[in-house]
Amino acid sequence: MHRESAGNTLLCGAGIGHLTLRDVTPPRTHLVDRPGRAPASFAQHMATERLTGTQWATAVARRTLRATRHRLLARASQGEPLWNNAAVRQTFATSLVELAQLDSLVATLIPRIADGRDLNAAVLLKAAVGTTLDTVLARCAQLQGADGMADGGAQHIRAETAVCALGGGATELMPAQLADNAADLLGEPGA
C-alpha cells in the first residue's frame, strides 16, 4: 500500500489523500454483509451518511448566518450598521427561508432514512443540501465582504463545505435519480 497526501489546506486534519493498493486480497472475515450483498448494504449506509451530512451542513449554514448577522450589526456604512440597510436584510432573509425549508425537509425525511434506510429520500436530501448550502454560504460571503476572505470567513467555509455537493455523488447527478424514482417520491399507488 502506498499513501500520499492530497496536499491541500482545505479540511486540514481530515487526512485527505490518495491510496494505492496492489496485490491486496482481504480475508473473508472482512466481507461487508454476505457475498454478493455488499453494494446493497453499502447503499443503505449511504442513506444514513447523506442524512448525517445534511444535518452537519444545516448546522454550518446556521452558524455562518449567525456570524454574518453579527458582522452586519457591527460594521457601519455612512454611520449606520449595515444591518439597517433593507436590501442587506432582504438578502439575508432569503437565506433564512432557504435554511428553514431545508430544516423542514430534514425533519420530514429523518424517519424514512434513519429507520427505513430510504434511498430515494436520501437522494432528495442530497440534492437539496448540495444546492442550498452553497447558495446560502455564497450570500453570506457576499454580505461579509472582505471579512468573508479571512480564515473562518464565509468564503473559507464555503470552500470547505463544497464536499457536500461532491461526497456521496455529485449534486448534478441527483435530479436524474430523483426523476427515475418520481412515482415513489410522489406517493403514487403501487410505487
In a domain, 121, yes or no: yes
Output the CA angle 181-187-188, nearest 5 degrees.
85
Is residue 10, in this structure, part of any structural domain at all?
Answer: no
| pLDDT value at residue 74 | 95
On whether residue 58 sits in a domain, the answer given is yes
- The pTM of this model reads 0.78
Separation between Cα atoms, residue 116 and residue 96, nearest integer Å: 30
Q: Would residue 92 count as lying in a domain? A: yes
- Three-class secondary structure of residue 2 per DSSP: strand
pLDDT score, position 83: 97
Mean pLDDT, the chain, rounded, equals: 85
In the predicted structure, residue 151 carries a pLDDT above the cut 80: yes
Domain membership flag for residue 132: yes
Per-residue pLDDT at 120: 87
Q: Which pLDDT score, from 0 to 100, does residue 18 have?
A: 81
Which CATH number is 65's domain given?
Answer: 1.20.140.10
176: containing domain: 37-180
Total of domains in the chain = 1
Please tell me whether residue 163 adopts helix, strand or coil conformation: helix
Residue 105 lies in a domain: yes
Q: Is residue 156 a part of any domain in this protein?
A: yes
Q: Report whether pLDDT(69) > 80.
A: yes
The answer to whether 94 touches 128, Cβ cutoff 8 Å, is no
Q: How far apart are CA 104 and CA 125, in angstroms?
A: 11
Question: Is the pLDDT score of 133 beyond 80?
Answer: yes
Residue linked to cell 436584510: 89
The mean per-residue pLDDT over the stretch 116-127 comes to 87
